[in-house]
Structure 1
Amino acid sequence: MSESSHLFGSVADGYASFRPIYPDALFDWLVARVGRRRVALDIGAGNGQASRGLEGRFEQVIACDASEQQLRANQGWGTVMPVVCDAERLPIADSSVDLIIVAQALHWFATDAFFAETRRVLHPSGFFCAWCYGLVDVTPAINEVIRELYGVQLAGFWPAGRESVDRGYADIQPPFPRQPTPTLMLEAAWQLTDLLGYLRTWSAITRWQNRHGGDLIQVIEPKLRRAWGSETKQLVRWPLHFIAGYPNRI
């Protein structure tokens, strides 16, 4: 098992509970990019937060992840087919997929081998879209606490590849021309407990706790509570950044 699979497998339940939901506008835009709606493939699917947005829009939706624990965290896959596999070795027939998505995961496996595999499984008219989101945006006071956690207390604990998220995937050069993408963001109305649960899903938190023990989020919780103030809920946002195109278009 790769380190990333182990890290995210260990917080699978947290991912299922505390990761934000993608907007319908994203999936409407994706569907409009494809000529056929037979098979959609979600790579690095985790517990299926993006997969469920494709369900009903395609005849078949396949959700692949290297972590069996992540896939098992979803107790209601519905018609989506979960498959344990590596992103660079997909058990999918040649030219059979009409849409590939990679939600908040491309930075872990953006290799030449991966992009070659996507070209193999995509139909000649098939569309590829990967996206990421960086630090959550709440209020200036809360943002300051989160930035200190992210860049100071967790410095040196982020796995290689995370810097691509910080750059909005601008440093990843896919082997196909990029297509224009929409301006979208994730939004949620969260209580402080939701934010604390979300922060505990960070891969660097798992690495920090593996080395030091204890609960770093519990340590910073008083500071976050003071920054949160008296509001029961706060609006939290994450801007989305995309890589999209037609890998097999000539």
Structure 2
Amino acid sequence: MAELFVKQAAVYAEARPKYPTEWFSMLSALTPHHKLAWDAGTGNGQAAVSLAEHYEQVIATDVSAAQLQHAFPHPKVRYVHTPLSASDADILSALGGENSVDIITVAVAVHWFDLPRFYALARRALRKPGGIIAVWSYNYEIAPFEAALERFMHSALPYWDDRGKSVINAYEELPFPFESVGMGSEGKPLRLDMSFDGLIALLRSGSPVVTAKEKGVDLVSEEVVRELQAEWGDTSVVRKVTFKAFMLVGTPKLED
């Protein structure tokens, strides 16, 4: 998975939408303790720095060293490179051991993980009782440009890794072996300000675009850009766009 995001690490850091601050306020309200957060698959650290507003320390891990080079610095966030060769013991040690983490977040990344291994590690790391895990993502159902982006998605499908396709289905079939805590935002809109250049950068940062380019296919061609531009109108105007976001939140089951 890491290799899919190495080449566009800088673009990814600039292009990906920011997550609403209220998400982190609501999540932190669910944990009785606020000592340690783990942001797994942190990428550029967007979620990590938001968690730092609510927790004393954030450990932010990623398998991609290139992504971490573009992460946002923060005095309460410690970035840790965890290559695929890292053992569970190494990762738990970086987190302070078992039963030490108040909240685990995975922003737009859990579908790339070795889920059985990650979930087993998450259960060991989470404080019991009281620890929670939240995973979320969004897809390219971006209003008011659904028609043009649907055509883009259709052209991108042959280059989309099967793991990434769970995002298209809004995590409906994603395994999530945790007890619901009554919070989630499945299918709820994520409304943001975005420039036209930002929209194009977002599309270009996607893994299927990189895969297609390696095969000589430009999914964000000049023709696609012109088509989107025609729907956008004045490209100097920043517009409100709406993503379809979805979140799953749970706590380890009693038998875990």
How high is the TM-score relative to the length of structure 2? 0.88
Matched with 1:146 is 149
Q: Which blocks of at least 5 consecutive residues in structure 2 are unaligned? A: none
Instruction: Note if contact 1:21-1:186 (Cα within 8 Å) is conserved in structure 2.
Output: no
> Shift in Å at residue 215 of structure 1?
6.6
Q: Distance in 2 between matches of 1:114 and 1:28?
A: 25
Verify: 1:82 aligned to 2:79, yes or no: yes
What residue number does 2:122 align with?
118
Question: What is the aligned counterpart of 2:9 among 8, 12, 27?
Answer: 12
Measured after TM superposition, the shift of residue 227 of structure 1 is 1.3
Alignment partner, residue 108 of structure 1: 112
Query: Which residue number corresponds to residue 233 of structure 1?
Result: 238
Please give the residue correspondences for 1:33-52 in structure 2 after superposition, counting only pairs within 5 Å: 33-52=30-49
Residue identity opposite 2:77 in structure 1: V
Aligned amino acid, residue 121 of structure 1: A
TM-superposition CA deviations, 1:176-197 (whole Å, max 9, x none) = 2223224454322222111111
Kindly indicate whether residue 19 of structure 2 is the aligned counterpart of residue 22 of structure 1: yes
* Cα deviation, residue 12, structure 1: 1.1
- TM-score normalised by the chain length of structure 1: 0.90
- Aligned twin of 1:64: 61
Matched, 1:198 2:202: yes
SS in 1 for 2:140: coil
Distance 1:64 1:136 in 2: 28
Tell me whether 209-218 or 54-63 shows the greater mean CA deviation: 209-218
RMSD: 1.9
Cα deviation 1:39-75 (Å, max 9, x = unaligned): 0000010000111111131111011110011111125
Q: Whole-Å Cα distance in 2 between the matches of residues 21 and 15 of structure 1?
A: 12
2:131, 2:83 → 1: CA distance? 21
> In terms of mean alpha carbon deviation, does 10-19 or 176-185 score higher?
176-185
Aligned mates of 1:176, 1:214 — CA distance in 2: 40
Q: Is the 8 A contact 1:12 1:70 kept in 2?
A: yes
Distance 2:67 2:132 in 1: 25
The Cα shift of 1:228 comes to: 1.1
User: Does 2:192 match 1:188?
Assistant: yes
- The percentage of counterpart residues that share the same residue type is 27
Compute the displacement of 1:148 (Å). Answer: 0.6
CA deviation vs aligned residue, 1:82-112 (integer Å, no higher than 9, x gap)? 0111588324311111100011111111521
Contact 1:122–1:248 (Cα < 8 Å) also in 2:
no
Which residue does the alignment assign to 2:136? 131
Distance in 2, Cα, partners of 1:214 & 1:47: 25
Q: Distance in 2 between matches of 1:26 and 1:70?
A: 23
Structure-2 residue corresponding to 1:208: 212
Q: Residue by residue, what CA displacement relative to the aligned partner does 1:139-177 show, whole Å, maximum 9, x if unpaired?
A: 1xx3211111112x2121001212211221111232222
- 2:221 and 2:49 mapped to 1: Cα distance? 30
* Change beyond 3 A, Cα 1:44–1:100: same
Using a 3 Å threshold, how does the CA distance of structure 1 residues 30 and 18 change in structure 2: closer, same or farther?
same
Task: Tell me how far apart the structure 2 counterparts of residues 96 and 107 of structure 1 sit (CA, whole Å).
Answer: 24
